């Protein structure tokens, strides 16, 4: 069986280290997306250069997206290694500001080209 491991990284300076750690822990491929959460928007206010009805593209324009969301489909046996590898880089995920990691077991995967 496979799982989706998804990690919202808060400290962009750690992106390369987390990617390397995931690869070494057994992630065959990693997808990385720019992301922004509503908490971020609420805490830091809205940008004044946005249109009245902004799209996600408007919110993420430029290189200033506040977060990166990484995910990988892995065999279930690899999940614990990815969690450990993530915490070795960013620290204890139960601490504020480290990021959020979640794991979802997948009942079906179509088109996956694993290791």
**pLDDT, tens digit (0-9, with 9 covering 90-100), for 25-53:** 999 999 999 887 765 555 545 555 555 55
Average pLDDT over residues 5-11: 94
Pick from 34-38, 60-64, 66-70, 78-82: least confident? 60-64
DSSP line for 14-77: GHHHHHHHHHHHT-S--EEEEE--HHHHHHH---TTS-SS--HHHHH-TT--SEEEEEEEEEGG
Residue 4 pLDDT more than 90?
A: yes
| Mean pLDDT on 9-27 | 95
pTM value is 0.77
pLDDT reading at 89 higher than 70: yes
Give the CATH fold of the 2-106 domain: Alpha-Beta Plaits (3.30.70)
Higher-confidence residue: 17 or 109?
A: 17
């Amino acid at each position: 069986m496979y799982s989706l491991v998804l990690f919202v990284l808060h400290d962009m300076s750690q992106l390369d280290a987390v990617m390397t750690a995931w690869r070494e822990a057994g992630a065959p491929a990693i997808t990385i997306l720019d992301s922004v959460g509503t908490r971020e928007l609420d805490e830091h206010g809205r940008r004044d250069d946005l249109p009245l009805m902004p799209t996600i593209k408007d919110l993420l324009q430029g290189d200033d997206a506040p977060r990166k969301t990484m995910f990988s489909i892995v065999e279930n046996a690899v999940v614990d290694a990815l969690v450990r590898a993530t915490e070795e880089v960013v620290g204890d995920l139960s601490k504020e500001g480290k990021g959020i990691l979640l794991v979802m077991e997948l009942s079906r995967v179509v088109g996956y080209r694993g290791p």
